[in-house]
Amino acid sequence: MDFRTIVITGASSGIGAALARSLAAPGRTLALLGRNAGRLEAVAAACRAKGATCMIASLDVSDTDALQAFLMEVGRETAIDLLIANAGILDGRSAGEAVERGSVARRVLETNLLATLDVVHLVLPAMQRNGRGSIVLVASLASLVPLPDAPAYSASKAGLLSYGLALRDAVAAEGIRVVVACPGFVATAMADRHLGPRPGEISADDAASRILTGLRRNRGMVGFPFVPFWLSRLSLLVPEAIRRRGMKNTRFHVGP
């Protein structure tokens, strides 16, 4: 993959950090965004050790002004070839609650969906002018199987999946590739808030490898692991009573 300038949001840990390390190479510039400055600098140091040039910004992707200023700085010298929109949060019902609070739902949707769309549209116009570019949106298998313990998280990821697949068709003729990744359970710091079963959990490095393979092959949707992905795709065709029975052993709540 001939990417020279790469932007990764949510790069301070988990899948974003693993993607940064995988893509780091001589001649590449990585623009890494994350909320934890210390962890972000550690990821950048690992990428620089592999020969990459790194720019970092410790910010929240919902801070549109700061985000725009940083991306303008990145794009001032060279065109952004690849955007990986990975930043997101997991939240849902806490112990003793039947459903998440309204304030939680709003924060999840604003961070996971609306802020991600802001990132896309700060980068997309230059890609359209240049007639090339790639965008990866990191969604979740929850986009296919809504989680009763995290309705807003499920909705935010379903929105990303639908938006990404529609955008893929909209800009394909302009030389821009859009790929939506739908991981299952991945062992990350964010996933540690998920207090319940995590069947089929894989490492962040494994997830990054699968996402990049899907990008190389220009797949519209990259879902994994294989069996949970296909069970998820088929789940909405299953009668509700059977689906509820199957979900019973995956109920969870979020920790602090």
Does residue 231 register a pLDDT over 90?
Answer: no
Helices of type H across the chain: 14-23, 37-49, 64-77, 102-109, 115-130, 151-171, 204-216, 226-235, 240-247
State the average pLDDT over residues 191-200. Answer: 66
Give the Cα separation of 117 and 159 in Å (integer): 10
Tell me if 212 sits within 8 A of 196, measured CB to CB: no
Give pLDDT tens digits for 160-186. 999 999 999 999 999 999 999 999 989
Query: 218, 144, 134: which is closest to 182 by C-alpha?
Result: 144
Longest Cα–Cα distance in the chain: 56
Task: Please count the structural domains in the chain.
Answer: 1
Give pLDDT tens digits for 39-95. 999 999 999 999 999 999 999 999 999 999 999 999 887 899 999 999 999 888 878
Does residue 192 register a pLDDT over 70?
Answer: no
Instruction: Supply the range of the domain harboring residue 187.
Output: 5-254
Relative to beta strand 29-34, strand 133-138 is unpaired
pTM more than 0.85? yes
Bridge partners of 221, per DSSP, are 180
Look up the CATH number of the domain holding residue 15: 3.40.50.720
The overall average pLDDT reported for the chain is 91
Query: 167, 163, 165, 199: which is closest to 184 by C-alpha?
Result: 199
Structure token pair of residue 74:
């990145």
CA angle (95, 100, 102) in 5-degree steps: 145
Give the Cα separation of 55 and 9 in Å (integer): 12
Q: What is the pLDDT of residue 49?
A: 98
23 exposure class (CB count in 10 Å sphere: 0-12, 13-18, 19+): buried
Tell me if 70 sits within 8 A of 59, measured CB to CB: yes
Catalytic residue among 6, 43, 140, 153: 153
Is the N-terminal amide bond of 146 cis, ω within 30° of 0? no
Does residue 157 register a pLDDT over 90?
Answer: yes
Active site residue 153: yes
Q: What is the pLDDT of residue 175?
A: 96
Give pLDDT tens digits for 97-135. 888 999 999 999 999 999 999 999 999 999 999 999 999
